[in-house]
Amino acid sequence: MLKSVAFYPEYIKDKAKIEENLLQIKAGGIDAVRFGEFAWSVTEPSEGRFDFDIFDTAFSLLEKHGLKAVLCTPTACPPAWLCRKYPGILPVNEAGNAIGYGARQHRCYNSPEMRRHTGRAVSALAERYGKRPALLAWQIDNELAAEHKYCYCDTCLEKFRAFLRDKYETVGELNRRWFASFWAQDYSSFDEIPFPRVVEAYLPMRPHPSLTFEYLRFSSESAADFSDFQAGLIRRHSSAPVTTNQDDFRYGDNADWRRIYRDLDFAAFDIYTDEPYELGFYCDLARCVKNRGFWLMEFGSRSRILTKALELAEEKGCEGFGLFAYNPFPAGQEEGQFGLVDGFGRPGENYALFRDYGGGKARGDVARCAPKPRAALIYDFTSSWIYNATEYHSWETGWPRIFSRLLYKDRLLGAAYRALFEAGREVDVIGGEGGFVSPLIMPMHIAYDPGLAARLLDFMKSGGTVLTTDDLFRKNGDNMFLTELPPFFTELGLKGFPERGTEAAFGDGKIVFLDKEADAEEWKRVIL
């Protein structure tokens, strides 16, 4: 397993100091450094004027000392000159105000101006470094759809309406499928469709749930398309593999990983946790997204469970494990006193742990152990977005409002997956297309999919066990509750939607329905 560390030559600037750091990095058993995601103001200090001196220095030194580079595109941080000169690149928040310069992710994925300047900056990077011997891989942007998840600008509204037109074809069909006549929500044209904004009245009200749901789908597609755009630019000049580093779902899973990584070479993610089961989940999801090895781009350099995390990640198929960050930042954004080394360059405790980790346990001891019993867990972004759109508590503000919308993730990861992990299961985190293993776990899978329903019946007929919750298949793909019982339930011999505790045999298999709010102990009881 390759070991890497986030290291920022543009922050250090001095060539002798950069070389001193790289020598210490190499002595620490580290194979590669990752940099560039926040460097746009350095590499393009004014429009069309590039200054790659610091990156040229970094690549020369990396090659001199036998180290590799994961080079990132800088689009997470558009520079001040760009924001001032082209304010149309800035995203707009729900209140209608532009999200200004001063932090990061201040860019609209759909802005034509943002695409134009991204094209110039990314193409220049790819052309200059795409064939350098030290280049190991590319990372697009940084944590797409993390701090900035949704944009409410005029460009996005126009594209959102086109997105709805592609799905529903006519506004009459949209009105019918959304039950829009209630509360006079009918539209006479797609041009009347607004963004789903909270209605701030004396008693604030949420927007139409189907409108919100479709906007979540649109926002995910916008982030993925921005990633695809950059990947295409890079591949014109470089054959190195391309990925991006998705954030965990602690603040929302609005970006569908399967769509994000569809046209990229491998999955990669960032996570900061001291909970092994949480790390295990994202490893299993990343592995199954591309059905191949994955990278963990960022893990805490001061983590108390670093050795355990390295072993667990490698056991689950991790091919590259990265720490954030090597040097601490004494000032500026993400300022702090500790990295893998301290502010004086003295190695911390984890420097030796990282250096000495050779993967023996993961590749040797684990390989000789008896294989773990397997299970499959369906993570369904559609169901998650339905709960997100439906459980939007508009009377709350700030963080509580955000967290109240993560019911799906909390139950699936914190209850069902945790039970599987603690029960010693090897888990495939999959979509609903197939690859089922018994037991097949599908908590809070509220979205009805006739194709999935047929596959589940075939799976049970052949002896498979399905463990699910009592909200199974209650809504359709437009976020409307079903008014007719799906044939899936009548095939099981049920006359209505199941209640918690219901069990049904089918063929040589069976299905068991738990309460959708079942905790880890309840899941563990049925799994064991």
Buried-exposed string 46-60: b where 16+ CB fall within 10 A, e elsewhere: eeeeeebebbebbbe
Provide the pLDDT for residue 421.
Answer: 97
243-301 pLDDT, tens digit each: 999 999 988 898 999 999 999 999 999 999 999 999 999 999 999 999 999 999 999 99
Measured between its terminal Cα atoms, the distance across the chain in Å is 33
pLDDT tens sequence across 435-494: 999 999 999 999 999 999 999 999 999 999 999 999 999 999 999 999 999 999 999 999
User: What is the model's pLDDT at position 371?
Assistant: 79
Interstrand relation of 242-246 and 294-300 (parallel, antiparallel or unpaired): unpaired
- Structure tokens belonging to residue 177: 């499928």
| Structure token pair of residue 150 | 């949704």
Kindly name the residue from 221, 298, 311, 314 that is annotated as catalytic.
298
Contacts of 80 (CB under 8 A, 6+ apart): 41, 101
- Is the pLDDT higher at 528 or at 367? 528
Q: In sequence order, which residues have a C-beta less than 8 Å from that of residue 456 and are 6 or more positions away?
A: 436, 440, 466, 488, 511
pLDDT of residue 499: 93
Distance CA 58, CA 400 (A): 43
Which candidate in 10, 37, 143, 315 is catalytic? 143
Degrees to nearest 5, angle at CA 274 with 273 and 276? 95
Q: Average pLDDT in the 406-411 region? A: 85
C-alpha 447/C-alpha 425 separation (Å) is: 26
In this predicted structure, the answer to whether residue 206 has a pLDDT above a threshold of 90 is no
Mean pLDDT over 132-158 rounds to 96
pLDDT of residue 296: 98
Residue environment code for 317-342, b if the CB has 16+ CB neighbours within 10 A, otherwise e: bbebbbbbbbbbeeeeeeeeeebbbe
Torsion of CA 421, 423, 428, 430, to 10 degrees: -80
Burial bucket for residue 499 (CB in 10 Å: 0-12, 13-18, 19+): exposed
Catalytic site includes residue 143: yes
Tell me the per-residue pLDDT of 11-41, one tens digit each, with 9 for 90 and over: 998 999 999 999 999 999 999 999 999 999 9
Active site residue 298: yes
Mean pLDDT of the chain: 93
Segment 112-144, tens digit of pLDDT: 999 999 999 999 999 999 999 999 999 999 999
Q: Which residue has the tokens 């994925």?
A: 109
